[in-house]
């Protein structure tokens, strides 16, 4: 036997589940059909694949836990020391609502400081008192 035969056998074995699912192209299906006609061991493997598919389909469906994604991310981040997921930003660590409340409180504090400041820019302009009568800075020639 040559090296090409085992590679072909592995390729055909890998195609068996697609054959059962019906997802092979017409050329690939014809190739598998020809190999099945010639090889009883491959036919036996095909029956094993069909039996396995029947068993898998008979299993009841199970829902994934609601926090599966977050727990997988946390495990990967912990094991990879942050190489696969970048550093978590402040928005990832603190909920948006908390950041919003802190921003509103900071804005109110800044407005209060500006309002209470004697030179604050948030005070209403009061009409300037009329200038006192004054004498000209330089005497006018008469």
Full residue range of the structural domain in which residue 15 is found: 10-58
Residue 38 located in a structural domain:
yes
Alpha helices in the chain (DSSP H): 4-21, 26-38, 40-58, 68-80, 90-93, 96-116
Residue 33 located in a structural domain:
yes
Residue 138 located in a structural domain:
no
For 64-106, how does the pLDDT look when each residue is reduced to its tens digit (9 = 90+)?
889 998 898 888 878 877 666 666 666 667 788 888 999 999 9
> DSSP secondary structure string, 66-78?
TTHHHHHHHHHHH
Residue 40 located in a structural domain:
yes
Residue 42 located in a structural domain:
yes
Cβ proximity of 57 and 27 under 8 Å:
no
Residue 44 located in a structural domain:
yes
Residue 41 located in a structural domain:
yes
Residue 135 located in a structural domain:
no
Task: Check whether 2 has a pLDDT greater than 50.
Answer: no
Contacts of 24 (CB under 8 A, 6+ apart): 15, 18, 32
Global pTM reads 0.42
Cβ proximity of 15 and 2 under 8 Å:
no
Domain tally, the chain: 1
């Amino acid at each position: 036997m040559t090296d090409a035969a085992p590679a072909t056998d592995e390729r055909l074995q890998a195609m068996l589940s697609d054959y059962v699912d019906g997802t092979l192209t017409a050329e690939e299906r014809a190739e598998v059909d020809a190999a099945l006609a010639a090889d009883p061991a491959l036919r036996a493997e095909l029956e094993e694949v069909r039996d396995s598919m029947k068993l898998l389909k008979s299993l009841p469906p199970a829902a994934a836990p609601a926090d599966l994604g977050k727990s997988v991310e946390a495990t990967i981040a912990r094991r990879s020391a942050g190489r696969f997921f970048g550093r978590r930003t402040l928005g990832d660590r603190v909920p948006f609502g908390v950041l919003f409340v802190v921003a509103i409180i900071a804005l109110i504090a800044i407005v209060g400081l500006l309002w209470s400041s004697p030179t604050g820019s948030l005070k209403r302009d009061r009409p300037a008192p009329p200038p006192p009568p004054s004498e000209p800075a330089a005497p006018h020639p008469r």
